[in-house]
Structure 1
């Protein structure tokens, strides 16, 4: 199928207007292959990212099942973003998708394998807890113009927000305002953990700034919550090598930080990955808007994308 039918699905509405970016859709020059341990399951998995056709976007292949990197397949889960289709689940996709969105890899097939061929669940490796491994791999293999199955290139479109939009859960909120460019303002607040405290960070996310100022920001956790999370079946693969850990009484247990506000920057990294799930047909997923998040998380991000998509 050529692109005309695919782009018919990108219809503007009162909330969103799809506009040309002046760029052509991109894919990878070659295949990326990385193997590592997962944060929550503790299991080892291998990810191969293959070049994709223009207009087909980003999608996962697991156990011969194709699962698009789309909000339509997001399942509620603790401390990560999970895609689910026909009983098959892919967990912790946010760091990989963040890197692909920010680096402009619009179309690709993401093949993921675990060492247990019968397990219907798999998790993307965590590496050092940031998106650096993915960014470095993308830079190493390079990008190229994507062609569709008819051999044609395709213009990259972006969703421009036409009116303010907000979602909230308890004391957390995410609000977006119309803007001529992508802007992100993110705040976190940990009053019982003085070493983190209240932090704010603002960025223009989808350019080289991401690679230098956001991608290397690692996931973090509170030391006093580790036992509770492990009892809940989470962070089985967590260690001081793949997260920065902060104690309420003792401060950071594995310094130095990459930035004084690294936790807040990591929240921006997650936000970009989660909002990339609005992408379709090789378009930009992150809305052209000023997005403001306070005490946000994966569930709140999913709520926002569903509102953006008109699902809720």
Structure 2
């Protein structure tokens, strides 16, 4: 069975050759930091992985950086396993993907080979016709396109300092990602923080790893890296979530113009499942 035939087919998506070979890391790289929800120190090692081929929390920033950088095969080793919950968690760092982009730049990439030493051509999912998912007034749509573009809108009317924002990428590649998306940090509403803490979440959250906005007082830890940093971070998360479409060491981010409004991880995954023909 070939890779193309093994991939789940869908009338919505066609897997096409990219003209590139699958890539992996040229060596090993390690990063250590505080995890967001447990507040524990976590060590992550990124290792080269073979071509073609446990529950982890807060992995979307790392997956986003790997997908955008073109890392198709990678082994991820994590040291901070919670024996009670059988969970591991990725460090939050400053709330962005910048640390991971720098780690990948540090180690570099090389052509991935399978266990027989052979390289594999990389293929990518191309959207054939418009597809969309929605929940209430939130939606994500993917339209056929020759290149990858993302347009994202958010609306936090309860927090005027955030308000309604839109950001649209130029054709998305690793340079656009590293310059315009990777350093955008996760954000939260100050008045909602205590509710999350009461639920046992964000024990490691602080003003050092998120930008925090008060409904009445505005941003509590300025300056922002971009005036529309929250909107850009949503694109960062979207790329990480859509990377789950990847199979057999191929590209996960679909070749499409993706338009989203008031989305989140659950809606991102809904679109991924739709494109995989699982709904």
TM class by shorter chain equals over 0.9
Q: How does 1:280-295 map to 2 (within 5 A)?
A: 280-295=247-262
Measure the CA separation in 2 of the matches of 1:163 and 1:29. 37
Residue 202 (structure 2) pairs with residue 235 (structure 1): yes
Measure the CA separation in 1 of the matches of 2:21 and 2:44. 26
Measure the CA separation in 1 of the matches of 2:30 and 2:120. 26
Aligned to 2:149: 183
> 1:207 Cα shift?
2.8
Aligned to 2:122: 156
Aligned to 2:274: 307
Q: How does 1:126-141 map to 2 (within 5 A)?
A: 126-141=92-107
> 1:97 Cα shift?
0.1
Aligned to 2:70: 104
Measure the CA separation in 2 of the matches of 1:11 and 1:266. 30
Aligned to 1:13: 10
For structure 2, the residue ranges without an aligned partner over 5 or more in a row are: none
Q: How does 1:84-95 map to 2 (within 5 A)?
A: 88-95=54-61
Measure the CA separation in 1 of the matches of 2:276 and 2:56. 22
**What secondary structure sits across from 1:209 in the alignment?**
helix
Correspondent of 2:139 among 173, 176, 186: 173
Measure the CA separation in 2 of the matches of 1:274 and 1:43. 24
Kept in 1, the 8 Å contact 2:81–2:89? The answer is no
TM-score (norm 2): 0.97
Kept in 2, the 8 Å contact 1:185–1:291? The answer is yes
**What secondary structure sits across from 1:90 in the alignment?**
strand
> 1:107 Cα shift?
0.2
Measure the CA separation in 1 of the matches of 2:191 and 2:182. 26
Measure the CA separation in 2 of the matches of 1:94 and 1:16. 23
Kept in 2, the 8 Å contact 1:44–1:115? The answer is no
Correspondent of 1:249 among 212, 216, 226: 216
> 1:232 Cα shift?
1.2
Kept in 2, the 8 Å contact 1:7–1:281? The answer is no
> 1:55 Cα shift?
1.0
